[in-house]
Structure 1
């Protein structure tokens, strides 16, 4: 028995390769200390000079949407719980577990590997490049990646429950809000966020391809019925 991957749009692996190449290109340009670093500095200096107190509070509120353990995981878990009870299947929890795993094995290691200090460190007179020892964990933005991945899972769970426009808004609008707020609050350089967009969308596409309804769940046999095949059917070829 062979499991067939679920469809994604745009179809094909060319888009995934393009995302990975874009992430690699930004990383190489930053490591090579190219003029791209000047963009980081210009954006940081602008946002620091145009952030009144009231706007700061608005930005902080918007940025909470990207809090992984405090917001994202509980939110998706709650929705998965109600979906699980309604359909009498544990399968809604599978993409949540997948999201936790895929972000754990990617975000942390890349941050440790690149060693970049956040722009909020004003002891820096220049935008920090990559691959410095004991420097920081700014690159790429974990908030942005988590938002893309976990709100992507939430959108998948709610497909067929909410109108398509609302599902699209969940999938795309929230990550853009978090990208803007993390940059405007000087939590991350603008290139941290752009790289995170590419890596986050790549991870989201990987999760969306998994045929969750076809994964064997022997220990949960009485709660292993289909869920996703009522939205975007996964096929099994023999």
Structure 2
């Protein structure tokens, strides 16, 4: 008989819900400030500086590094790691984190982009060829949807969420092959790619600085939700789980 598991939320750092509330308040405050045409000068100054300091070698390096935040490949990598681990441990459990991450991204990032309807900085140099001043404000719903999906940065938010999931799966996956992963490597996987993506996305002019900051805030909020889930303790139907499944993601039996 499968042992009954006590389901408790996992701890995160910083501990407590106050930090989640702070992230949400910061995102709401940033959105309200942009809606009131605040911080647009900062966005313009950063974009103009990047345009003036983007030699070809630096631009191509940034383009290559920005692939670290491509949502579709990251989704496939995370799902592939989850499926491989699921096969190794004979449980559907490892597939749940990437599936939940996809659902949370779908329900938050996309709708917020559609609602805020903000063009990217490049909208003044290619279709729809807006004036530089027209590219800055939010809520330009008169534009075709494909030209007004800059806020928040999906690259940044996706990078934070998907590398959280990849880091979550990395240690148990390697353990299933009798390999260990240094805890510092897991931390590097979670932190370094999102920072690189935030910097390169802004530097390349693909997003305004505030787009990237909003993506950072939203990504961190989703990441904390995923890391709070007690994956090891979730009750699963017997046909989708191994009766002798050990703790994969925590040390809790």
| Length-normalised TM-score, structure 1 | 0.90
Residues 71-105 of structure 1: CA deviation (Å, up to 9, x unaligned): 20121122223322332222111100000000000
**Distance in 2 of aligned mates of 1:51 and 1:195:** 24
Q: Residues 224 and 117 from structure 1, CA distance in 2 versus in 1: closer, same or farther, beyond 3 angstroms?
A: farther
1:61 alignment partner in structure 2: 64
Residues 129-174 of structure 1: CA deviation (Å, up to 9, x unaligned): 1122134010000111111001001111123642111111110110
Q: 2:190 aligns with which of 161, 168, 171?
A: 171
Per mean C-alpha deviation after superposition, the further-off stretch among 140-149 and 76-85 is: 76-85
Structure 1 position 132 matched with structure 2 position 170? no
1:52 alignment partner in structure 2: 55
* C-alpha RMSD of the superposition: 2.0
| Offset at residue 233 of structure 1 (A) | 4.5
Structure 1 position 221 matched with structure 2 position 247? no
| Offset at residue 219 of structure 1 (A) | 6.3
Per mean C-alpha deviation after superposition, the further-off stretch among 75-84 and 201-210 is: 75-84
Q: 1:212 aligns with which of 218, 224, 231?
A: 231
**Distance in 1 of aligned mates of 2:243 and 2:25:** 38
2:6/2:233 contact within 8 Å kept: no
Q: Secondary structure at the match of 1:129?
A: coil
1:159 alignment partner in structure 2: 171
**Distance in 1 of aligned mates of 2:206 and 2:90:** 42
Per mean C-alpha deviation after superposition, the further-off stretch among 4-13 and 103-112 is: 4-13
1:189 alignment partner in structure 2: 208
Q: Residues 215 and 230 from structure 1, CA distance in 2 versus in 1: closer, same or farther, beyond 3 angstroms?
A: closer
**Distance in 2 of aligned mates of 1:79 and 1:23:** 31
Identify unmatched segments of 5+ residues in structure 2: 125-129, 173-179
Residues 4-36 of structure 1: CA deviation (Å, up to 9, x unaligned): 1111111100000000011111101100012x1
Structure 1 position 232 matched with structure 2 position 243? no
Structure with bigger gyration radius = 2
1:21-170 equivalent positions in 2, closer than 5 A: 21-34=25-38, 36-69=39-72, 71-122=73-124, 123-126=130-133, 128-135=136-143, 136-159=148-171, 161-170=180-189
